[in-house]
Amino acid sequence: MWARLKVFRSDALRYSNKSRGSAWNVASFHYLDVPKKKGKVGPLQERRMVDRSTLWVKGGEGGKGCWSYRRSRHDRRGKPDGGNGGRGGDVILECSPAIWDLSNLQHHLNAKRGGNGLSKNKVGSRGADKVAQVPVGTVIHLVRGSLPSLEESIQSPTRSPDLAPWELPGAVGVETDIHTHTVESKKEKHYSKSLNVDQISTANELESKTDEEECFSRISKGLHELSFKSDEGEDFPKISKEINGLDLKADEEEYCSYSEEDVENDDEEVQSDYMEMSSEEEEAIQYSVAEFTKPGQRIVVAQGGEGGWGNTSFVKVSKRTKTTRHEDVHPINEISDEEISSSEPNCEGQPGSEAHLILELKSIADVGLVGMPNAGKSTLLGAISRAKPRVGHYAFTTLRPNIGNLHYEDYFSVSVADIPGLIKGAHENRGLGHAFLRHIERTKVIAYVVDLSAALDGRKGIPPWEQLRDLVMELESHQPGLSDRPSLIVANKIDEDGTDCVLEELKGRVKTVPIYPICAVLQEGITELKTGLRKLVNGEEVQRLELSAIMVD
Ligand SMILES: Nc1nc2c(ncn2[C@@H]2O[C@H](COP(=O)(O)OP(=O)(O)OP(=O)(O)O)[C@@H](O)[C@H]2O)c(=O)[nH]1
């Protein structure tokens, strides 16, 4: 097959100048027949998974309040009729099933500014929100700035009513807020706004504590819990089938077409993120302040600033504060004369909140394949699902996690995550390190894939029982208790000579966990393995692989 290519002459311009006529008088291009390339080409093939990203967010500034007077022939002095400025837009992260990694996320997200107030009591328009989409399983860590909050739903009873032109921004509902508008710190205000009614009391209690860190961590814990609550108040299961079902389309794609160079660059990016961060900042990171577990969830990561006051509002406040001061019945009396005199009319809108976040994607799969490099994990994933991960006869072919879906005849499905190979010392950053282990933090089941032929015929590999010991140790080094979940062992490469004896020995050395001998290449033993995985995912079997249960020389 041939394709016709239009090739422009590099000297076309020179020709046209010489001729001093139009460029079109000269034949400035010609056609070239080139062979058509087969298969998928272009950027799609080079797509790589980005599972970690830094984000700087800023809410829109509030619009300016208007200072104007309505004058008429009957009223020469005029009455104030300046409207309040509009509220700035929020930066919102939305969980979408159509997104599978963080590669499309911009690093800086700024919401729009609110509109300025106008005469005739017209309130400025609200700034447009900036909405960015993230995949299911995204976790937010807060480096600096204000805590994210759940977006208030339109039907929510706790939602504050929209501001009417005669109401003050920041003074909705509670009279004393007139005072807080100027006196309350930004952080306090943010807490009372971002958490729901039950939590405000907790936030206030915490505020009184001197230990600010504890306060932050407890509130963030509350938020974390919030992100798992449904509208009815029910807890979402951390690994729900509904979420896993979202990956159905994904397994048809080839995820693992990255060149090593790409990955190095990618890792460098992540490294540089850390490098840019000072040690103080690293210490101050609040981990997992919120996470997305369900499509459609929305979290406000930066709030827009309130609009400035128009002169109508300012006159109302000054009148109200004066009358209540004389009546001597309201807590607002506590405002001192100095404060009243210092509360200058503030037409300027307030700036939006800012935050520096780290987003991390923790894939949500039912089963995690864990094994040494070259054990055959990718081949196995290809054999049991429609995923087509890259397979190679050299170590570390898999450089990014792959997820495939395992379908059963009765439409039951199990998602399986294949993560890059681990070696002894991975927790000390040997090999590809253990960074990818976060992708199995949420898996229900671990399938340890071992290569039976690794130490056969004088090969330099490690016997399967030692592979298992190293793998469990690496999991525990990454996160204590990570290996404590239902597990099975996949003994791969039974087609190789001499593996029968190794299999028997393995069965003798590890007795607590079921062992499934398979040949991933020839797809032997796959049916039994699928049944075994289903039993573990369903909770029918719960055997765990413990270090003490592995007999090593
Ligand atoms: N003989 C035999 N070879 C296999 C079998 N399964 C996989 N292999 C080979 O083992 C090599 C490694 O396979 P992969 O699937 O890339 O292994 P992996 O565990 O994903 O390796 P990493 O990407 O390094 O983690 C390839 O050359 C496969 O062809 C098997 O059942 N029998």
Half-sphere exposure of 294 (CA within 13 A, CB side): 15
514, 526, 471, 524: which is closest to 494 by C-alpha?
524
The CATH number of the domain holding residue 430 is 3.40.50.300
* Residue 169 shares a structural domain with residue 117: yes
Mean pLDDT comparison of 207-216, 224-233, 371-380, 391-400, highest-scoring range: 371-380
Do the bridges between strand 91-95 and strand 79-80 make them parallel or antiparallel, or are there none, so unpaired?
unpaired
Percent helix, strand, coil in the chain (nearest 5)?
Answer: 35, 20, 50
* Closest C-alpha residue for ligand 1 atom 32: 493
Instruction: Give pLDDT, residue 136.
Output: 83
Decide: 495 in ligand 1 pocket, CB within 6 A. Answer: yes
* Residue 249 shares a structural domain with residue 396: no
Residue 534 lies in a domain: yes
Is this complex's ipTM strictly greater than 0.95? yes
Residue 180 lies in a domain: no
Residue 193 lies in a domain: no
Centre of ligand 1 from the C-alpha of residue 397, in Å: 9
Of 94-103, 203-212, 279-288, 459-468, the one with minimum mean pLDDT is: 203-212
Instruction: Give pLDDT, residue 280.
Output: 63
d(CA 281, CA 108): 19
Instruction: Give pLDDT, residue 326.
Output: 47
Instruction: Give pLDDT, residue 223.
Output: 38
Decide: 526 in ligand 1 pocket, CB within 6 A. Answer: no
Instruction: Give pLDDT, residue 133.
Output: 93
Percent share of the chain, pLDDT over 90? 23
* Residue 254 shares a structural domain with residue 109: yes
* Residue 229 shares a structural domain with residue 337: yes
Of residues 487 and 9, more confidence is placed in: 487
* Residue 405 shares a structural domain with residue 534: yes
d(CA 394, CA 420): 12
Decide: 456 in ligand 1 pocket, CB within 6 A. Answer: no
Q: What Rg value do the Cα atoms of the chain yield, rounded?
A: 31
E-assigned strand segments in 44-192 = 52-58, 69-70, 79-80, 91-95, 108-110, 130-134, 138-145, 149-150
Mapping DSSP to helix (H, G, I), strand (E, B) and coil, where does residue 262 land?
helix
* Residue 69 shares a structural domain with residue 87: yes
* Residue 122 shares a structural domain with residue 102: yes
* Residue 316 shares a structural domain with residue 286: yes
Of 295-299, 430-434, 532-536, the one with minimum mean pLDDT is: 430-434
Length of the chain: 553
Instruction: Give pLDDT, residue 281.
Output: 64
* Residue 224 shares a structural domain with residue 107: yes
E-assigned strand segments in 294-431 = 298-302, 354-361, 367-371, 402-407, 413-418
Centre of ligand 1 from the C-alpha of residue 384, in Å: 14
The CATH number of the domain holding residue 89 is 2.70.210.12
Residue 76 lies in a domain: yes
Q: With 70 as the cut, is the pLDDT of residue 145 above it?
A: yes
Residue 113 lies in a domain: yes
Q: What is the largest CA-CA distance in the chain?
A: 108
Q: With 50 as the cut, is the pLDDT of residue 542 above it?
A: yes
Q: With 70 as the cut, is the pLDDT of residue 182 above it?
A: no
- pTM value? 0.55
Residue 200 lies in a domain: no
* Residue 438 shares a structural domain with residue 456: yes
Could you give the number of structural domains in the chain? 3
Of residues 429 and 56, more confidence is placed in: 56
Per-residue buried b or exposed e for 498-512, using 16+ beta carbons within 10 Å of the residue's own CB: ebeebbeebeebbee
Decide: 497 in ligand 1 pocket, CB within 6 A. Answer: no
Domain hosting residue 31, numbered range: 2-38
- Domain limit, last residue, from 334, 360, 386: 360
Q: With 50 as the cut, is the pLDDT of residue 197 above it?
A: no
447, 446, 471: which is closest to 520 by C-alpha?
447
Residue 131 lies in a domain: yes
E-assigned strand segments in 136-236 = 138-145, 149-150
* Two tokens, residue 553: 């020389």
Note whether 87 and 351 are within 8 A (CB): no
- Domain limit, last residue, from 329, 360, 391: 360
Q: Each residue of 106-121: pLDDT tens digit?
A: 999 999 999 999 999 9
Instruction: Give pLDDT, residue 329.
Output: 41
* Residue 29 shares a structural domain with residue 130: no
Residue 45 lies in a domain: no
Helix (H) / strand (E) element for 219: namely: helix 212-226
Of residues 20 and 404, more confidence is placed in: 404
Instruction: Give pLDDT, residue 300.
Output: 93
* Residue 34 shares a structural domain with residue 56: no
